[in-house]
Chain A
């Protein structure tokens, strides 16, 4: 599962974009992991994520924190998205002192994540995964500006046509940028969509597109 890995964007845009995952290990610590995962989720929540969820339950924009916590079972993988590095440093400091016992993974700009770990008193990154980009018939992909938004949902549930429709809606005064981004957050059920970054990307997208007719 690589759904937080292939986020596209510039260094500036990605530097305040972090997805923190809590993952129990099948065959090792999965059995009896529900309370650990709930504890991890509660710690993350305390540090102010912009989004948080579990793919089988949904995220805080389409259900409640209580519901997400209640539906955690052994093996649930939870995901919390943060929009600034200071929150990550304080979160890591707490996780270092009060380890939940399950594996913790952070997707983000590699050197920024390493800096956060160092500031929190943790050592080197344990294992990492790099994206080598998108190969094959890339002419079928949407423009980079739209890709930056849609790749925030790793399950590819934010359709590029939806982004175009939202551009049209905002330009016609039907909806605000914030309303559009909250709806995109609802589409991405895992909670990986960074609403703060989404709003910024949408602002950058607006002058580039004029969508008169979609179909």
Chain B
């Protein structure tokens, strides 16, 4: 996002709308005496478009230029109005468990593990994303990246989790690593994430997906309990109403 210096009057009305915080500086116009305008720090801006959508600028100075590669990845991941065509899903992730009832993405004995970096309100550079992805893959725990996820798409080596060199210094409001592994590997995956969390200057949320069996305990809960790990009281829950229904068990109706 940029502010047109010939229009901007430095009224500051757009400042509080920025999810990245105060990333604007003041500058003096070189041709109009006494005229001050704002400059948006381009490295900190994720091109999410929130300030523009807020329609707060009284002089229409804000504009989003068409960005070339690799900067265009900022908008793709940060602006909710833009769809990443590689995933064919609106948003910055995949369908993950939302369609598990018809696709069988996560079978009994498997868990989905998602790591979303940068949210809320801090943002993440792709070099941070790479640090997490490479730590996960280096541990050789059978963590399988979701192929249709945008972050996976930006990897130059999906086996090591290495991202393309030209995107690592780009920044997004948030970027999600999505994948799955066997349930028995979940404690080790979470330990890896605990270790890598100490190395980052940003934040990440961790989410774990499981198929709920028709009877008995939700399989991931004993793992959390054993590890003394906090989990939310709220969850995202698939109702199983999608059609055609994926058959998870032999005796399933």
Contact = CB atoms under 8 A, between A and B. Distances in A.
A130 B200 contact: no
Contacts of B102: 25, 28-29, 103
A89 B206 CA distance: 29
Interface string B79-104: 01101000011111111111111110
Contacts of B204: 134-136
A122 B176 CA distance: 32
How many residues of B sit at the interface, in one of the four size bands? 35 or more
Nearest to B103: A25
A24 B176 CA distance: 21
Contacts of A121: none
Contacts of A7: 234
A172 to B, nearest CB: 14
Nearest to A8: B232
Contacts of B214: 123-124
A1 B96 contact: yes
B203 A141 contact: yes
A130 B243 contact: no
Among the interface residues A104, A132, A138, which one has the most CB atoms of the partner chain B within 10 A? A132
Given A5-B236, A128-B237, A159 B99 contact: no
B54 interface: yes
Contacts of B209: 127-129
Interface string B193-214: 1100100111111111111101
Nearest to B193: A135
A187 B53 CA distance: 8
Interface stretch (B9-17, B136-144, B163-171): B9-17
Given A1-B91, A133-B206, A155-B173, A56 B194 contact: no
Contacts of A127: 97, 100-101, 106, 209-212, 237-238, 240
A168 to B, nearest CB: 10
Interface in B194-253: 194, 197, 200-212, 214, 218, 220, 224, 229-244
Contact of B94 (A1, A56, A132, A137): A1
Contact of B237 (A113, A186, A187, A189): A113
Given A2-B176, A124-B214, A128-B236, A159 B208 contact: no
Contacts of B15: 161, 214-215
A177 to B, nearest CB: 17
B155 interface: no
Contacts of B119: 6, 154, 156
Nearest to B22: A215
B203 to A, nearest CB: 4
A110 interface: yes
Given A1-B93, A95-B241, A126-B212, A162 B99 contact: no
A23 interface: yes
B75 interface: no
B58 interface: no
B90 A76 contact: yes
Contacts of B238: 103-105, 125-128
Interface string B22-54: 100000000000000000000000001010011
Given A76-B90, A187-B54, A134 B203 contact: yes
A142 interface: yes
B95 A214 contact: no
B134 interface: no
B161 interface: no
A49 interface: no
Nearest to A3: B91
A165 interface: yes
Contact of B53 (A100, A103, A124, A189): A189
Contacts of A111: 233
Nearest to A165: B16
A106 interface: yes
12 contacts: A2-B116, A4-B236, A75-B90, A103-B239, A104-B241, A106-B236, A126-B239, A135-B205, A137-B201, A156-B121, A156-B174, A164-B16
Given A75-B88, A136-B202, A150-B121, 11 more contacts: A25-B103, A77-B91, A95-B239, A107-B235, A129-B237, A132-B207, A137-B201, A137-B202, A147-B120, A187-B17, A214-B16
